[in-house]
Amino acid sequence: MSEQEKEILVTRSALPPYAEFIEAIKPIWDSAWLTNMGEFHQQLEQELKTFLDVEQLTLFTNGHLGLEMVLQAMELTGEVITTPFSFASTTHAITRGGLTPVFCDIDPVTCCMDAEKIEALITQRTSAILPVHVYGHICDVEKIERIAKKHNLKVIYDAAHTFGETLNGVGIGRFGDAAMFSFHATKVFHTIEGGAVSYQGEWLKERLDCLKNFGIINKEQVVAVGGNAKMNEFQAIMGLCNLKHLSTELEKREQVVNRYGERLAGVKGLRLPEQQAGVKSNYAYFPVLFEDDFALNRNEMYDWLAGRNIHARKYFYPLIPDFDCYLEQFGQADIPVARYVAERVLTLPCYGSLTQAEVDRICDVILEVKR
């Protein structure tokens, strides 16, 4: 297969050198300790606390269960204001916890929840706000905090896309009452599957540690209806290895994003992501809006690229309230901006091992059709 025909997927997991991982897992054959908060689990938890610059952090076997369990730990009730423009996990965590999602429209530039539209959605039943730092773009954390304080609401950020990001030098996991990071294989930093919740305060640590281990606190006491969301030792070691190579991965991603910018900025009908003031980016995604004055609409462009073996993704389409499992369940959400973006956005391939030649090939295919 020639370079021009080689399949390019939206992302490709970064892996540590094989020999390094094999060496790192050797101690497991001596200890035979595979899971249940072992030595490597503890080491990764400590290293990530420092790396992410957060006060407290609890690891999970995936980000989704971390989100479900932090909502459970906070004993939320009633309604949770959230975004319709996200991965299924965000709303599923709310509904699986017996809570009702209330969908708030998004900001047209960041694609995060539009903080100006939150207050109009608050009712007597609202207990929390669950925004997403989508694509690694940061929500208006100050405004959201002001609203939450005024109405006595909890704020839980879905920070699945924001590993290692900072806002004005502050770790992104420090904003809100809690933040969930995903360490899925497709993320900037991964533990194969995995995730973590960061938060302030010892009380949440005890609850989360307990909930992720069936609600067990010692050999004879089960104090909560928990589940099994423990990260195993192989996952933790993958994380420890990947952490060592993260800065290289980020540098390579930055080059990919810069190259897209060089090739696609200023093209009529294309809207590229904007760098946010004060944000240290992790270059997780490269979302492009195909506006109405571009030669092809988003769906046509998706097919055009796929026909040339380039597999971009419609993150995030359809919107969550339009999923079959949610249709007509939560009333008509007033979300015109989210609808506009979801119809036009395509996330282009973006990962550290994507070469400049491959970025150029993707851009050539896109630009071949411009008016």
Residues that bind ligand T4K (CB under 6 A): 9-13, 62-64, 86-87, 89-90, 132, 158, 160-161, 182, 184-186, 195, 315
Shortest distance, CB of residue 10 to ligand T4K, whole angstroms?
5
Q: Closest CB to ligand T4K among 54 and 312?
A: 312
Residue 370 CB, nearest distance to ligand T4K (Å)?
26
DSSP state of 310: B
Nearer to ligand T4K, 9 or 216 (CB): 9
Q: How many CB atoms lie within 10 A of CB 31?
A: 11
At closest approach, how far in Å is the CB of 249 from ligand T4K?
13
Q: Structure tokens of 366?
A: 């896109």
Residue 315 CB, nearest approach to ligand T4K (Å):
6
Considering beta carbons, is residue 87 or 326 the nearer one to ligand T4K?
87
- Smallest gap from Cβ 137 to ligand T4K, in A, equals 12
Residue pair 144/129 in contact by the 8 Å Cβ criterion: yes
Q: Which residue's Cβ has the minimum distance to ligand T4K?
A: 63
Cβ atoms within 10 Å of 50's Cβ, excluding its own: 10
C-beta neighbour count of 355 within 10 angstroms? 14
Phi (first) and psi of residue 81, to 5 degrees: -80, 125
Q: How far is the CB of 101 from ligand T4K (least distance, A)?
A: 14
Nearest distance from C-beta of residue 90 to ligand T4K, angstroms:
5
- CA dist 220 and 75 (Å) reads 24
Closer residue to ligand T4K, CB minimum distance, 147 or 180 = 180
Closer to ligand T4K by Cβ: residue 12 or 252:
12
Angle at the Cα of 230 from the Cα atoms of 229 and 234, rounded to 5 degrees = 130
Q: Which of 132, 200, 202, 150 is nearest to 170 (CA)?
A: 200
Give the C-alpha separation, 101 to 315, whole Å: 20
Cα–Cα separations (whole angstroms), residue 294 to 9, 159, 269, 273, 297: 23, 32, 4, 17, 7
Nearer to ligand T4K, 140 or 294 (CB): 140
Q: State which residue, 126 or 182, has the beta carbon closest to ligand T4K.
A: 182
